[in-house]
Amino acid sequence: MRAQERVADRYELTYPVGHGGMGEVWAGFDEKLDRPVAIKFLRKVSIPESERENAVERFMREARVTARLDHPGVPSVHDVGVQGDDIYIVMQLVPGMVLSDLIAERGWLSVPWAAAIGAQICSVLAAAHAASLVHRDLKPQNLMVTPAGSVKVLDFGVAALLGPADVPRLTATGHTLGTPTYMAPEQALNSTVGPRADLYALGCVLFELLTGSPPYRADNPLGMLHRHMNDPVPSVTDHRAGVPDALVQLVVRMLAKDPQHRPRSASEVYEILMPFGAVEPELAADLAMTVAEGQPVDPTMPYRYPFGPLPPRAPLAPTKIDVVRPRNAPEVIDVPSFDELAEVEERAWELAEEERFTQAAELLETALRPVRKGHGAKQPRILELRLNLANLYVLAGAYRQALPEFTRLVADLSERPMPDQELIWHCRQQAAVCQAELGQGSMALAELRALHSEGRRLMPPDSPHLLDLRQQIAMLTAGVGELADAQRQLGELLSDIRELHGRNSPAAVDVENLLVHLGRLVGTGG
């Protein structure tokens, strides 16, 4: 890339902002809307060719989810596309100071600063997790404090390229996707990464803010991942005195090896950090000494000028205060005909073919809303549309919406006079996948094990569905800490795949790489 080069016949590059192993960031100018922007380029050539198409699709899909995050702590996403050998994402150009530079300048930060930064990050994570979006690569280099004191969480869209499926291949070749210094044990083990992986990474960031150094050090990425999985959790008090005990214990909980032992949510961490981030106005000036682009930065400022509430812990109760009707008047519901539903379904699949999955799901959900309650929801045609809706939610990455849909479908399909067991099995598997994506690893593992036991009675041993399920179970087993059992399962699976498809088949190579990766993580020492 070079200055004055144009992208998509719209964006002019002005000057480079930064670069890394996978791409570079440029300041630019949107000629159509007459505004400055930031443009991040990711090199497709940095991704192995066999994975490139899936990685690009995943990046595009998750970038769309990111663009819907309406939160002041997330830079606005304006555009995304492909140019030559690069994927690019156009976003709001944010002024301020990168957190890694702030740490390098100051060493450890004051307790109010660290807590204020952490609370603002939690506010972003709470909104993201409510939208079924996990960052996966939270680190000081992806966090920025603006001159207004607000903290911006960067690179949610880039996180699409940092999925757990990429970790074994890339750590094995020395090009880790995700950052080992801040990577949760389950992410290192290639397990499904849920919201609590972000809390682990935030625990690492808080530890570094309070002590000036990350919780673990190692000479190489593999050694770092081994320490995250096996070394005792360090305490802030070993490096610094005077930090309140409640804050010390919070960091210890966030760094727990087992995701189930970490705080339940970003909202819970936010509420613990909030009181520590409050600063009296007369003391704030003594803290705000770091300068970004000629202006002081002070992350405690939003406590005096609040930046917005968290999403509610539970869905708000429906209200009818804006609906005026006589007390005894019957509620009129406009139920669509099957022909109208067929038209909606056709349009939804047209949108899905364009990868506009969220819009397709919203269209189908709106059409189904009048018939979702009562006996009508169990009609064969409605059940089919409900299944399509659940699958669209999965394609959109909206796992919180997909999970209850699949759960209700399992119950309703089971009540039919002649239940379709294979379809029920599929819905249960998809529900377990959603649980795993939402960080409910133990629950997902129990369900997948039950499904495998039942699937052996419904399908032949060489069924691709069963083989994929066994690999999924093995990796979730590793993710909950049962490493020896996971290695045994992968070894048996590798033997069966070699017998069925050959020693050098793609499936066999994939499982063999997983086994090598898992063995290195378990057996590496420094």
Residue 524, both tokens = 């590496």
Is 245 catalytic? The answer is no
For residue 321, what pLDDT is reported?
44
* End-of-domain residue from the set 43, 63, 92: 92
pLDDT > 70? residue 332: no
* Domain annotation covers residue 375: yes
Cβ neighbours of residue 340 under 8 Å, at least 6 residues apart? 367
For residue 222, what pLDDT is reported?
86
Residue 473, both tokens = 């179970």
* Domain annotation covers residue 369: yes
Q: Which helix (DSSP H) or strand (DSSP E) does residue 183 occupy?
A: none
pLDDT > 70? residue 325: no
Q: Write the Ramachandran bin of 34: left for phi over 0, alpha for psi from -120 to 50, otherwise beta.
A: left
526/522 Cα distance (integer angstroms): 11
* Domain annotation covers residue 297: yes
Answer yes or no: do 415 and 428 share one domain: yes
Whether the Cβ atoms of residue 469 and residue 452 lie closer than 8 Å to each other: yes
Answer yes or no: do 413 and 493 share one domain: yes
Q: What is the residue range of 251's domain? A: 97-304
pLDDT band at 284 (very low <50, low <70, confident <90, very high): low
Please tell me whether residue 42 adopts helix, strand or coil conformation: strand
Answer yes or no: do 15 and 39 share one domain: yes
Count of the separate structural domains present in the chain: 3
Q: What does 206-257 look like in DSSP terms, one character per residue?
A: HHHHHHSS-S---SSHHHHHHHHHHSPPP-GGGT-S---HHHHHHHHHHT-S
**Segment 140-149, tens digit of pLDDT:** 999 999 888 8
Report the percentage of the chain scoring pLDDT > 90: 33
* Domain annotation covers residue 321: no
Question: pTM (2 decimals)?
Answer: 0.70
Residue 497, both tokens = 């795949």
Report the percentage of the chain scoring pLDDT > 70: 81
For residue 187, what pLDDT is reported?
85
* End-of-domain residue from the set 56, 71, 92: 92
Q: What does 127-173 look like in DSSP terms, one character per residue?
A: HHHHTT---S---GGGEEE-TTS-EEE--TTGGGGG-GGGHHHHHHT
Answer yes or no: do 360 and 428 share one domain: yes
CATH code where residue 254 lies: 1.10.510.10
* End-of-domain residue from the set 256, 279, 304: 304
Segment among 181-195, 280-294, 448-462, 512-526 with least mean pLDDT = 280-294
- Give the chain's length: 526
Which of 8, 193, 19, 148 lies closest to 88, judged by CA? 8
Q: What does 340-390 look like in DSSP terms, one character per residue?
A: HHHHHHHHHHHHHHTT-HHHHHHHHHHHHGGGSSSGGGGSHHHHHHHHHHH
Q: Which of the following is catalytic: 9, 30, 79, 137? A: 137
CATH code where residue 424 lies: 1.25.40.10
CATH code where residue 12 lies: 3.30.200.20
Answer yes or no: do 27 and 148 share one domain: no
DSSP one-letter code for 286: H
Mean pLDDT rounded to a whole number for the chain: 82
